[in-house]
Chain A
Amino acid sequence: MPDFEEGGAREVTLKINGDDFRILVEPRENLREVLHDRLGFTGTKEMCDRGACGSCTVIMDGRPVVSCMMLAVEAGGHDIETVEDIERKQHPLIETYADHNAMQCGYCTPGFVVTAKALLDRNPDPDEEAIKSALEGNICRCGTYPAHIWAIQAAANRLKTREA
């Protein structure tokens, strides 16, 4: 065990998509940097880097949060879920997003999908208003907003038939 400076860089265990990653992080590193740049979870995108656009959304302990505004040293021990896990578990959102063309350039899409997954976990049958308010923090410069409502409602329907 190296001798770390008090209050400086330290080892944290990040629980990402069910796996533990032990990694040395500096206090100034944010969670998005560590996920994307150091651990290769490249679905967590950087856009505004100020918590205003939602592109870097991850689910932490069931809450959709912007990883660019969270210090990585403070994320240790919490359950972190990225878009990679949503794809790996074949969540219907992945297919319904493609079916409804809910993207144009695609850069903001992972952030939308993660936010939508967090919504469906809490509310399996969201109406249009609930979807709109859950997505208030995600910005798409291509303007694909209406398609997200269709894609999320279709995914909710598939989840219901899957369970039935």
Chain B
Amino acid sequence: MRRFKHFDASSLDEAVSLLARFEGRAKVIAGGTDIVGTLKDSVLPEPYEALVNIKTIPGLEGIRNGAGVLKIGALTRLEDIAHNETVQTKYAALAQAARVVATPHIREMGTIAGNICQNTRCWYYRCAHNRFHCVRKGHAAPGQSLECFASDGDNRYHSIFGDVKDCLAVNPSDTIPALIALGATLKTTKRSIAVKDIFPPSDEPTKMTIIDSDEIVIEVEIPEPQASSRSAYHKVAIRKSIDFPIVNCAAVVDFEGDVVKDCHICLNAVHYKPYVPERAEALLEGEPLTDEQAATAGEAAVWGAKPLPMNSYKITMAKGLVKKILIACREAG
């Protein structure tokens, strides 16, 4: 592993000023399970010069249940979220999502903010020693043009909703779909922003989120769902543990009797950012949630999908997953 500097920040102000001093060449380290892997593999053409440890800042960890809002500190470990009783009962989709991230060991280290801000797992991008200097990494040498190696290569785990500036990588987060469906907001050192709005517009493919290099997530706030609503989450992956999702999905459905009053669905690992299938949400609202309705919503959720040569199976998977999650919400009562 290449050398880098390491700073233990004692306050958010100190951490922000350190990050600002390195002008984008420093990165925050929380649980470290993602960034240590990128450093070990020398993934990036220009490695980070410094890491700023925020685990030494007091008060960033813990789950607080306030008036109508659940506040989860940025450094709260995923395992603690998965086992929290309030999260399990009122925010079931989030507990289920946190429960299936990687392995128990990684969940004991990995934090909620780290899970939100993690980098892509595209195997060309992550291949060790920058073997595939792709379009996502930028910085073309003079006369060199950058490409996406997945477009002509093995793209079985890549986007089903097309490329963004030629990049086909997907967002691999397990907790993001649950947070978006639950309407969560991030509090950072600069702003308060809905989780669904933290993703870059489609002309900035190299960034996972629009969170600045000198901005730190402080807290995740989730409004308490209606008592009549239910949520569920499921992830499809090769193995039950360790693997990243091939497709995952969360839904929050508010019922009035059998009829769907309000519905939020979010898929992930299907596009460069989480995918909210608005057509599916719209057709469900005001109708009873039958198995047929759930299947129709699954069809609508993948409307406009454009499979790559090796990943049309992901469309079938996403359809089935939306149906399964909607039925799980109905049965959860």
Q: How far is the CA of A54 from the CA of B104 in the complex (A)?
A: 10
B 1-25 binary contact with A (CB < 8 Å = 1; else 0): 1111111100000000000000000
Name the one of A51, A57, A70, A136 contacting B37, with C-beta atoms under 8 angstroms. A51
Asked whether, in the complex, the Cβ of A6 is within 8 Å of the Cβ of B5, the reply is yes
Asked whether, in the complex, the Cβ of A49 is within 8 Å of the Cβ of B40, the reply is yes
Asked whether, in the complex, the Cβ of B242 is within 8 Å of the Cβ of A69, the reply is no
Asked whether, in the complex, the Cβ of B4 is within 8 Å of the Cβ of A50, the reply is no
B39: Cβ under 8 A from any A Cβ? yes
B29: Cβ under 8 A from any A Cβ? yes
Asked whether, in the complex, the Cβ of B6 is within 8 Å of the Cβ of A73, the reply is yes
Asked whether, in the complex, the Cβ of A71 is within 8 Å of the Cβ of B241, the reply is no
Task: Name the segment of B50-58, B64-72, B185-193 touching the other chain.
Answer: B50-58
CB distance from B60 to the nearest CB of A (A): 14
**Chain B, interface size: which category?**
20 to 34
B108: Cβ under 8 A from any A Cβ? yes
Name the one of A7, A70, A115 contacting B32, with C-beta atoms under 8 angstroms. A70
A106: Cβ under 8 A from any B Cβ? no
Interface residues of B in 74-132 (CB under 8 A from A): 77, 79, 102-106, 108-109
Asked whether, in the complex, the Cβ of A71 is within 8 Å of the Cβ of B32, the reply is yes
Name the one of B4, B33, B241 contacting A28, with C-beta atoms under 8 angstroms. B4
Asked whether, in the complex, the Cβ of B33 is within 8 Å of the Cβ of A51, the reply is yes
B165: Cβ under 8 A from any A Cβ? no
B36: Cβ under 8 A from any A Cβ? yes
- Also in contact, A26 and B105, with CB within 8 A (given A7-B50, A50-B37): no
B240: Cβ under 8 A from any A Cβ? yes
Task: Name the segment of A59-67, A90-98, A143-151 touching the other chain.
Answer: A59-67
Asked whether, in the complex, the Cβ of B109 is within 8 Å of the Cβ of A66, the reply is yes
Neighbouring A residues of B7 by C-beta, 8 Å: 7
Neighbouring B residues of A30 by C-beta, 8 Å: 36
Asked whether, in the complex, the Cβ of A136 is within 8 Å of the Cβ of B108, the reply is no
Interface residues of A in 23-51 (CB under 8 A from B): 26-28, 30, 49-51
**Chain A, interface size: which category?**
20 to 34
Asked whether, in the complex, the Cβ of A71 is within 8 Å of the Cβ of B36, the reply is yes
Asked whether, in the complex, the Cβ of A64 is within 8 Å of the Cβ of B29, the reply is no
- Also in contact, A136 and B36, with CB within 8 A (given A28-B2, A71-B6, A73-B6): no
Interface residues of A in 64-100 (CB under 8 A from B): 64-66, 69-71, 73-74
- Chain A residue, CB-CB nearest to B240: A136
Q: How far is the CA of A147 from the CA of B108 in the complex (A)?
A: 25
A18: Cβ under 8 A from any B Cβ? no
Neighbouring B residues of A64 by C-beta, 8 Å: 104-105, 108
Asked whether, in the complex, the Cβ of B5 is within 8 Å of the Cβ of A137, the reply is no
A161: Cβ under 8 A from any B Cβ? no
Neighbouring A residues of B109 by C-beta, 8 Å: 63, 65-66, 69-70
- Also in contact, A51 and B29, with CB within 8 A (given A28-B2, A74-B55): no
Asked whether, in the complex, the Cβ of A27 is within 8 Å of the Cβ of B6, the reply is yes
Asked whether, in the complex, the Cβ of A65 is within 8 Å of the Cβ of B36, the reply is no
Q: How far is the CA of A15 from the CA of B167 in the complex (A)?
A: 46
Q: How far is the CA of A8 from the CA of B49 in the complex (A)?
A: 11
Q: How far is the CA of A58 from the CA of B46 in the complex (A)?
A: 32
- Chain A residue, CB-CB nearest to B18: A7
A 1-29 binary contact with B (CB < 8 Å = 1; else 0): 00000111000000000000000001110
Asked whether, in the complex, the Cβ of A133 is within 8 Å of the Cβ of B104, the reply is yes
- Chain B residue, CB-CB nearest to A63: B108
A120: Cβ under 8 A from any B Cβ? no
Asked whether, in the complex, the Cβ of B102 is within 8 Å of the Cβ of A137, the reply is yes
Name the one of A7, A8, A27, A52 contacting B103, with C-beta atoms under 8 angstroms. A52
CB distance from A59 to the nearest CB of B (A): 10
Asked whether, in the complex, the Cβ of A115 is within 8 Å of the Cβ of B3, the reply is no
Neighbouring A residues of B36 by C-beta, 8 Å: 30, 51, 69-71
Q: How far is the CA of A36 from the CA of B309 in the complex (A)?
A: 46
A140: Cβ under 8 A from any B Cβ? no
Name the one of A27, A49, A57, A74 contacting B5, with C-beta atoms under 8 angstroms. A27
Sample of 5 further A-B pairs with CB below 8 A, known A51-B36, A74-B32, A137-B106 = A27-B6, A27-B51, A50-B40, A63-B109, A73-B53
A sample of 23 inter-chain contacts (CB < 8 A) reads A6-B5, A26-B3, A27-B4, A27-B51, A28-B4, A51-B36, A51-B105, A54-B103, A57-B105, A63-B79, A64-B108, A65-B109, A66-B33, A66-B109, A69-B36, A70-B36, A73-B53, A74-B8, A74-B29, A74-B55, A134-B104, A136-B104, A136-B242
4 closest cross-chain pairs (CB), A and B:
A137-B103, A7-B5, A27-B6, A136-B241
